[in-house]
């Protein structure tokens, strides 16, 4: 991935992960691995933790201590 030097890397990575969740590439309950994302995007886990914190605030993922972060159940948030 080529990073835009005018924007924080974690913001750009969060956009990619958000798009993967929206497209279904990361389905409900999919494990969001900090290690794998750090390797894929060639950044530190600290950067990935900023990504997961932002996505958690948006309600896109849930984190269970000792287990990890998973894509949240999105059906509960739809208003159909």
N- to C-terminal Cα separation, the chain: 36
9-43: pLDDT as tens digits? 999 999 999 999 999 999 999 999 999 999 999 99
Domains of the chain: 9-75 (1.10.10.10)
According to DSSP, residue 65 is labeled T
Q: What is the pTM of this model?
A: 0.89
């Amino acid at each position: 991935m080529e990073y835009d030097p005018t924007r924080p890397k974690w913001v750009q990575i969060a956009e990619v992960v958000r798009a993967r969740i929206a497209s279904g590439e990361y389905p409900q309950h999919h494990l969001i691995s900090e290690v794998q994302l750090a390797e894929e995007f060639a950044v530190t886990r600290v950067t990935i933790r900023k990504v997961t914190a932002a996505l958690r605030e948006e309600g896109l993922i849930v984190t269970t201590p000792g287990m990890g972060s998973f894509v949240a159940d999105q059906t509960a948030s739809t208003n159909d």
